[in-house]
Amino acid sequence: MKIVLVSHGSFSKGLFETMEMVLGPQEDLSYVGLYPQEGIDALKGRIEDEFQKAKEDEEILVLTDLFYGSPFNAVVQLMNDYDVYHLTGINVPLLMEILLMRGNGKCAAEICEEAIKLANETVKDVKKYLTDLLALEEGDEECETSF
């Protein structure tokens, strides 16, 4: 499965570099960014170039940064001509899960379904988490001293 990261600016490149740092080199993972001096047609052309690098009958999963942003819209327009899967709202933890699922042999449809389920777990309120953790630890100490 080929995965193409598409974003505003260099966000997609940053995601790519982060995944290679954390998970090691990734085959069939590429990125395309939209920069201020470019139009949407240039972006669509570069995305299409990535689609054409896929092997025959290889699934393509596109991950965009922002729902209804220009990268999102460019991919949606290309979906008229290419049979691709498309998830938007990508972030580092979710991309890591997607790459691990791909590595475990899941198909694009399975990955999309699972990614939607995992998405709400990729953003955490750390202040609440630490408060809850502290309360849990204090509860454990009370149990230990009451014996």
Query: How many angstroms separate the CA atoms of 14 and 96, rounded?
Result: 13
39-57: pLDDT as tens digits: 999 999 999 999 999 999 9
Of 115, 125, 109, residue with least CA distance to 91: 115
The C-alpha R_g of the chain, in whole angstroms, comes to 19
What's the whole-model pTM score?
Answer: 0.89
Kindly give, in sequence order, each residue whose CB lies less than 8 Å from that of residue 12, ignoring residues fewer than 6 positions away: 5, 6, 31, 32, 33, 65
Q: What residue has token string 């240039």?
A: 42
Q: Among 92-101, 122-131, 134-143, which is the least confidently predicted range?
A: 134-143
Domains of the chain, earliest start first:
2-145 (3.40.50.510)
